[in-house]
Structure 1
Amino acid sequence: MLAELSIKNFAIIEALSVTFSKGLTVLTGETGAGKSIIIDAIHLLVGSRGSAEFVRHGEEKAEIEGLFQVDDHKHPVIAKALEFGIDVEEGMVILRRDISQTGKSVCRINGKLVTISTLREIGATLVDIHGQHEHQELMDDSRHLSLLDQFGADNILPSLSEYQQVYRRYEQTLQKLKALSENDQQTAHRLDLIQFQLDEIQKANLKLNEDEDLFEEKRKLSNFERVFESLQSGQLALQGEQKGLDWISMVMGHLEDAAALDTAYKGIYEAVSNSYYQLEDAAGVLRNELDVLEFDPQRLHEIEDRLTEINQLKRKYGKTINEIVEYAVKIEEEIETLQNKETHIGELEKELTSVKKDLILEAKQLTEIRLKWAEKLTKLIHKELKELYMAKTVFEIRFESNSLQFSKNGVDHVAFYISTNPGEPLKPLSKVASGGELSRIMLALKSIFSKHQGVTSIIFDEVDTGVSGRVAQSIAEKIYKVAAESQVLCISHLPQVAAMADTHLFISKIIKGGRTKTSVTPLQMDEKINEIGRMISGTEITDLTKKHAEELLYLALENKKSVSALTRQ
């Protein structure tokens, strides 16, 4: 859920920090107080287009930051964040966006700089904002198949997975056949090219790890002079008149005399004696090494030429010798295939026919399962619409299936159709006019799909416009029902919706120092009664209005208990 929102220097908001809770949060207030500005800020926070107009007059930049808490480790935001290399620790996602006076944006997710498109992708898994005049996911025909699959996930997704496995085989076989079916001239050119490449690689006679061994040998040869001088200096320092071994031999003689007179010095004598003989052996090894050390400039040239040859092959065929060898094996197989083209085409055609039969069966089974779930979804939507006093509305899920037009999601195209008036033809949901009917249709769909979409927060921006009376009460209950599955933030002018709120925030504006500022105040019970009274009657609040507001809050409490009980079932 959206746990906290911080806004600074945004439109008429100077500085604002709002803490949100689970359930239904309703934002109310006078027109122009800044309710929609807060929603605009959330819009920008999840990746919508920004501009310099959002920056408060006289300030350098607007700052928006939101903390989201994700309880489910399987929430889609976690996988999406990892896709972009963003760590999600302790289930917290922090989005931040700064907009400068020039209109440029700086976006961060958990402190990491990201692009607007990345912010938008992450934001889409966290927040779904629905306004009366916006085309959201449910209004997009191309998304209806996905929504149906989410609704019937337990049965549809396993069938879809089986279909997709066969579909991948079908695509791979089709691509191989297409590549082989190219004209003879293209085939000849391809064969000449890869035969040349194979000859070049085979001629090089590569050995695994050869380059590493050559680098090591080159390093030794390149440092030959310094190594020789060091060994020679060491050997000369040990052996020769008045050199290291002579002096240690002298020490050993003196200590031998001392040890003969006093056994207490036997230990130190033996230590020096052992050191002498070890150093004598080391001097012999150095002498032998110096005798065999020989600089071979020709060998160094050979190594450099060989490494140059290997590097040229790496630039063409792979980053390592192993990759080059693997590429050679691959094109060797391709050469054999192209040289026996007709035989392989025949085999692939048989394979394609067989896979296609399997694919048609899988697609048919997937369509049948989807049709069953479409029927269930249709019944549920009619039930929701009836509760919203749209009993005469007809909803239909239409399938257009072509058994020969395969895609990764099957052969089905699904679209939601609706008719809100008896005798009127069914039209695509995307063509339904906006207004009170659209608000109810969207709420009916949201009531069903909210728990399948996985978003953390759903925001309704005045979706209840154009309704009143018993329809308003029904809409309030629907919004509360959606809030049982996802956190819901709702801007509303309906007292029925405000009465159902778990948290009621009052948005107001004040003028201070000649500047307009927006403030947000969580309302307590007495304040709720006054605000709902204002929403009922307008500016004048009478005792009768307050009684009406109290009654509305009491009825809302009873309705919330009923909705919660139904949700738990």
Structure 2
Amino acid sequence: MLQELSIKNFAIIDQISVSFEKGLTVLTGETGAGKSIIIDALHLLVGGRGSVEFVRHGENKAEIEGLFFLDDHHPCYKRAAEFGIDIEEGMLILRREISTNGKSICRVNGKLVTISTLREIGSTLIDIHGQHEHQELMDETTHLSLLDQYGSIEIRPALQNYQEIYKQYDSTLKKIQQLKLNEQQMAHRLDLLQFQLQEIRDADLKMNEDELLTDERRQLSNFEKIFASLKAGYEGLQGERHGLDFISHSMSHLETAADLDKQYENVLESVSNSYYLLEDAAVKLRSELDRLEFDPERLNVIEGRLNEINQLKRKYGSTVSEILEYGSSIEEEIEMLTNRDARIGELQSKLSSLEEDLVLEGNQLSFLRKKWAKKLTAAIHKELKELYMDKTIFEPIFIKDADNHSEFGKDGLDEVIFYISTNPGEPLKPLSKVASGGELSRMMLALKTIFSKHQGITSIIFDEVDTGVSGRVAQAIAEKIYQVSKHSQVLCISHLPQVAAMADTHVLISKEAIAGRTRTTLTILGKNEKVSEIARMISGVEITDLTKKHAEELLDIAYTIKIT
């Protein structure tokens, strides 16, 4: 859920910070108070297109920051991991800055990201719906995935089985296409690969050779310092009036003391052990000094070898391991190109077998999708009936014939588009072509009520989707928005008193002029303030005892609905 939103120097907002709760939060206020500006800020926060026009007049930049709390299995974790972003304790902070010079800076949990990355992550957090903004539900390319989400308990395992085979199929098909390039291209490719492989083989690389040579070069380059240091260390221990001599002298006196008094035996033992350890170290230092020998020619050989390895790194990989891996991969390709005809035959045989498997898995997937499409149709019709659209027909149409296997897709053999007919006698049309504002709002709410249980979106925002409705339809819409809020946090900008009455949290947006500048403020309303605001929404201007009584009645109705 969206826990906190901070906005600074954005349009007519100088600075606000507001905390949000779970459930349904309704934002109301006079026209022009800045309600839609809040939505604009949220849209930018999740990767929407920015403009310098959003920066408050006289300021250098606009700043928007949002804190989100995520459930353990939220889809945002996977999306963030793809971009190397860590999420700790379920907290995610998005930040967007827009400067007057046109620059836009985006951060996710403090890490700088591109706008496209911010948009990818933001799409899992907030779903914004406006009166004329269809977004995901109106995007035909998402309808298949929405159906899959609805029937995920059966569809997801079948889809995974299909995709595992499809991955092999796609890889095999690409290999065949590569082998079928024209003869001249194949000859050039084969010559290049053979040259590269020979160059790698001639180098006779050993695993981690560059690291070992670098260490040896460092030792040889610092030979004089190493030798002088070891020699000084040895001389400090060995010889008359040096370390070991003094410790031997001390040990002799301690032996006398221990012979006279047993309590000094422990001290003697410690000093004796130290003496023999140091004596051992002195012997090793002497041996190492005798072994050390500076070979300037060896240093030249190392420099030459490292230079050769670095030349190969520039061509074939950043490490010796990567170069050797590249050599192995092109060796396989050379073998495949050399025996092209036989290899094509093998791959085509494999492709035929994979196609048979894809048909079986694809047909099973299509069967399950059609089964769940019927269940989805029944569920949507139930929701539409509650919104007084019982004459509306909804149907997921399978555009692609599952019996036509000339082209396999990564998501199966199907293409699904949601079709509706809002009036009796009218033909079914794609949902994206429906233009009636009131009907579209109710259609969207019906779909959202169903899919909000399956999509995993953190927050759903409705921006005046209730425009153009009244009476019993308005009450039905209010109840439907509340139902959606049971599964996802909902923020709703509304002019309907019925919707405001259903709010778990009611926020009043107002504006005032201070020192010649307009500023927007947000106030969370208490019970009495909520009655006054709903009364204002009912009456328009003058608040009377009757409108207050009507407002209280709406709140009582809402309370009864919530507890039943």
TM-score range, shorter chain: 0.7 to 0.9
Change in Cα spacing, 1:205 to 1:145, as seen in structure 2 (3 Å) is: same
Change in Cα spacing, 1:554 to 1:176, as seen in structure 2 (3 Å) is: same
State the AA in 2 paired with 1:538.
G
State the AA in 1 paired with 2:112.
L
Report the alpha carbon displacement of residue 131 of structure 1 after superposing the two structures with TM.
0.5
The answer for the alignment partner of 2:54 in structure 1 is: 54
State the AA in 1 paired with 2:61.
K
The answer for the alignment partner of 1:13 in structure 2 is: 13
The answer for the alignment partner of 2:69 in structure 1 is: 69
Once residues 496 and 259 of structure 1 are traced to their aligned partners in structure 2, the CA distance between those partners, rounded to angstroms, is 99
**CA RMSD, Structure 1 to Structure 2 (Å):** 3.6
State the AA in 1 paired with 2:40.
D
Change in Cα spacing, 1:195 to 1:232, as seen in structure 2 (3 Å) is: same
Q: Secondary structure at the match of 1:412?
A: coil
Change in Cα spacing, 1:219 to 1:456, as seen in structure 2 (3 Å) is: closer
Once residues 5 and 143 of structure 2 are traced to their aligned partners in structure 1, the CA distance between those partners, rounded to angstroms, is 32
The answer for the alignment partner of 1:29 in structure 2 is: 29
The answer for the alignment partner of 2:345 in structure 1 is: 346
Q: Secondary structure at the match of 1:134?
A: coil
Contact 1:245–1:276 (Cα < 8 Å) also in 2: no
The answer for the alignment partner of 2:149 in structure 1 is: 150
- Whether 1:400 and 2:399 are equivalent positions in the alignment is yes
Once residues 558 and 37 of structure 1 are traced to their aligned partners in structure 2, the CA distance between those partners, rounded to angstroms, is 33
Q: Secondary structure at the match of 2:522?
A: strand
State the AA in 2 paired with 1:157.
R
Change in Cα spacing, 1:218 to 1:429, as seen in structure 2 (3 Å) is: same
State the AA in 2 paired with 1:202.
R
More displaced stretch, 190-199 vs 380-389: 190-199
Contact 2:176–2:348 (Cα < 8 Å) also in 1: yes
Q: Secondary structure at the match of 2:390?
A: coil
The answer for the alignment partner of 1:539 in structure 2 is: 541
Change in Cα spacing, 1:169 to 1:541, as seen in structure 2 (3 Å) is: same
Change in Cα spacing, 1:126 to 1:293, as seen in structure 2 (3 Å) is: closer
Once residues 96 and 515 of structure 2 are traced to their aligned partners in structure 1, the CA distance between those partners, rounded to angstroms, is 28
Unaligned runs of 5+ in 1: 563-569
Q: Secondary structure at the match of 1:328?
A: helix
- Whether 1:502 and 2:504 are equivalent positions in the alignment is yes
Change in Cα spacing, 1:183 to 1:11, as seen in structure 2 (3 Å) is: closer
Once residues 534 and 340 of structure 1 are traced to their aligned partners in structure 2, the CA distance between those partners, rounded to angstroms, is 83
State the AA in 2 paired with 1:461.
D
1:38-74 deviations in whole A, cap 9, x for unaligned? 222222222222223223333333332222222x111
More displaced stretch, 286-295 vs 444-453: 286-295
Report the alpha carbon displacement of residue 250 of structure 1 after superposing the two structures with TM.
12
The 5 Å alignment of 1:407-422 reads 407-422=409-424
TM-score (norm 2): 0.88
Q: Secondary structure at the match of 2:415?
A: strand
The 5 Å alignment of 1:115-514 reads 115-225=114-224, 244=240, 294-401=293-400, 402-514=404-516
Contact 1:10–1:54 (Cα < 8 Å) also in 2: yes
Once residues 75 and 97 of structure 2 are traced to their aligned partners in structure 1, the CA distance between those partners, rounded to angstroms, is 25
1:274-309 deviations in whole A, cap 9, x for unaligned? 999999999998887777765444333333333333
Contact 2:464–2:494 (Cα < 8 Å) also in 1: yes
State the AA in 2 paired with 1:397.
P
The answer for the alignment partner of 1:95 in structure 2 is: 94
Once residues 543 and 258 of structure 1 are traced to their aligned partners in structure 2, the CA distance between those partners, rounded to angstroms, is 104
Contact 1:25–1:501 (Cα < 8 Å) also in 2: yes
Change in Cα spacing, 1:305 to 1:396, as seen in structure 2 (3 Å) is: same
Change in Cα spacing, 1:179 to 1:245, as seen in structure 2 (3 Å) is: same
State the AA in 1 paired with 2:65.
E
Report the alpha carbon displacement of residue 408 of structure 1 after superposing the two structures with TM.
1.1
Q: Secondary structure at the match of 2:509?
A: strand
Contact 2:237–2:244 (Cα < 8 Å) also in 1: no
Once residues 75 and 200 of structure 2 are traced to their aligned partners in structure 1, the CA distance between those partners, rounded to angstroms, is 46
Report the alpha carbon displacement of residue 422 of structure 1 after superposing the two structures with TM.
1.5
State the AA in 2 paired with 1:553.
L
The answer for the alignment partner of 2:82 in structure 1 is: 83
Change in Cα spacing, 1:82 to 1:236, as seen in structure 2 (3 Å) is: closer
Report the alpha carbon displacement of residue 330 of structure 1 after superposing the two structures with TM.
3.0
More displaced stretch, 387-396 vs 399-408: 399-408
Question: What is the identity percentage for the equivalent residue pairs of Structure 1 and Structure 2?
Answer: 67
TM-score (norm 1): 0.87
Change in Cα spacing, 1:279 to 1:73, as seen in structure 2 (3 Å) is: closer
Report the alpha carbon displacement of residue 344 of structure 1 after superposing the two structures with TM.
1.6
1:202-259 deviations in whole A, cap 9, x for unaligned? 33333334444444444444444555666777889999xxx84799989999999999
Change in Cα spacing, 1:34 to 1:320, as seen in structure 2 (3 Å) is: closer
More displaced stretch, 286-295 vs 104-113: 286-295
Change in Cα spacing, 1:228 to 1:136, as seen in structure 2 (3 Å) is: closer
Contact 2:44–2:96 (Cα < 8 Å) also in 1: yes
Contact 1:27–1:35 (Cα < 8 Å) also in 2: yes
Q: Secondary structure at the match of 1:207?
A: coil
Contact 2:162–2:361 (Cα < 8 Å) also in 1: yes
1:184-208 deviations in whole A, cap 9, x for unaligned? 3333223222222333333333333
Report the alpha carbon displacement of residue 26 of structure 1 after superposing the two structures with TM.
1.4
Contact 2:236–2:243 (Cα < 8 Å) also in 1: no
Contact 2:398–2:417 (Cα < 8 Å) also in 1: yes
State the AA in 2 paired with 1:362.
E
Report the alpha carbon displacement of residue 380 of structure 1 after superposing the two structures with TM.
1.1
Q: How many residues align?
A: 558
Once residues 258 and 94 of structure 1 are traced to their aligned partners in structure 2, the CA distance between those partners, rounded to angstroms, is 67
Once residues 387 and 33 of structure 1 are traced to their aligned partners in structure 2, the CA distance between those partners, rounded to angstroms, is 33
Change in Cα spacing, 1:289 to 1:30, as seen in structure 2 (3 Å) is: closer
Structure number with larger C-alpha Rg: 1
Once residues 537 and 323 of structure 1 are traced to their aligned partners in structure 2, the CA distance between those partners, rounded to angstroms, is 74
Once residues 51 and 159 of structure 2 are traced to their aligned partners in structure 1, the CA distance between those partners, rounded to angstroms, is 42
Change in Cα spacing, 1:340 to 1:62, as seen in structure 2 (3 Å) is: closer
Change in Cα spacing, 1:546 to 1:350, as seen in structure 2 (3 Å) is: same
Contact 1:477–1:560 (Cα < 8 Å) also in 2: no
The answer for the alignment partner of 1:567 in structure 2 is: none
State the AA in 2 paired with 1:340.
N
The answer for the alignment partner of 1:565 in structure 2 is: none
Report the alpha carbon displacement of residue 133 of structure 1 after superposing the two structures with TM.
1.1
Change in Cα spacing, 1:279 to 1:251, as seen in structure 2 (3 Å) is: closer
Change in Cα spacing, 1:150 to 1:248, as seen in structure 2 (3 Å) is: closer
The 5 Å alignment of 1:550-565 reads 550-562=552-564
1:91-136 deviations in whole A, cap 9, x for unaligned? 2222222333334333333333333222222222111111001131
